[in-house]
Amino acid sequence: MKVQNKTIVVTGGGNGMGREIVLNLLSKGANVAAVDMNEAALQETTNLAGDKKDKLATFALNVTDKKAVDALPQQVIARFGAVDGMINNAGIIQPFVRLSQLEFDAIERVLNVNLYGTIYMLKAFLPYLLERPEAHIANVSSMGGFLPVPGQTIYGASKAAVKLLTEGLYAELLETNVGVTVIYPGAIGTNIAANSGVVTPGGETAESSSFKMLAPEKAAQIIVDAVEDGRYSVTVGSDASFLDKFYRFNPKGATHFIYRQMKALLA
């Protein structure tokens, strides 16, 4: 689905990769409804949109608020007349600790944002997308959704759930006008740790590893291209691509490899 003149909803659009997705879509002529719980961050996204800000609408809400999400489709339609696609990008990581040390409030927060937030958005918007001549859904899973990352076990479980949720949705919508893509980002140069309220040992960022991080604007380009090309799935970053192949070939070996890369964050 080409995004020009289409209306696309993007969650997590206030910063990082989500902001870059919003700006990329605007550059391609799309109308964009950017959703984020941080109103100040959404205002900064609007400022960065420059002369394309008339094609941008922002909605400050938490995707875990089902009532607010249920009301969102009509708000987007009131602004743009229709809704043609959505990119569920909003997500948080957990504190970098082993499961035995992870508090239940952190567990519930990660599951609520990453999994239930995605489900709420899908349930709210899918009836409207099915009415369009063509539409598309892209859900952001993670490299951690197919590869176990120590210290991010609950995060990984939530993103693995998003993976299968998206694949199941793809199968259910095969004979409809709605395409579906699952996205697997690796290490992206964003401030996801700070936005998730996570402090890591030694002040390192949660994205730290021996892999080179991909610039968020490049990640956004890959994601928007995948939507336009109707891809079933796409890995984002050389690390995600490498580890996807490694894990398919040798799951145990890949697990030991990622442990060696990440174990310093568990110190």
Question: Can you tell me the distance from the alpha carbon of 155 to that of 136, in angstroms, rounded to the nearest whole number?
Answer: 25
Rg (CA), the chain: 18
Q: Identify the active-site residue in 116, 120, 155, 184.
A: 155
The arrangement of strands across the sheet holding 233-236 comes to: 56-60, 31-36, 7-11, 85-88, 135-140, 178-185, 233-236
β-pair partners for 143: none
Task: Based on the residue annotation, tell me whether 155 is a catalytic residue of this protein.
Answer: yes
CB 154, CB 144: distance < 8 Å: no
Distances (CA, A) of 48 to 3, 40, 164: 20, 13, 34
List, by residue number, the catalytic residues: 155
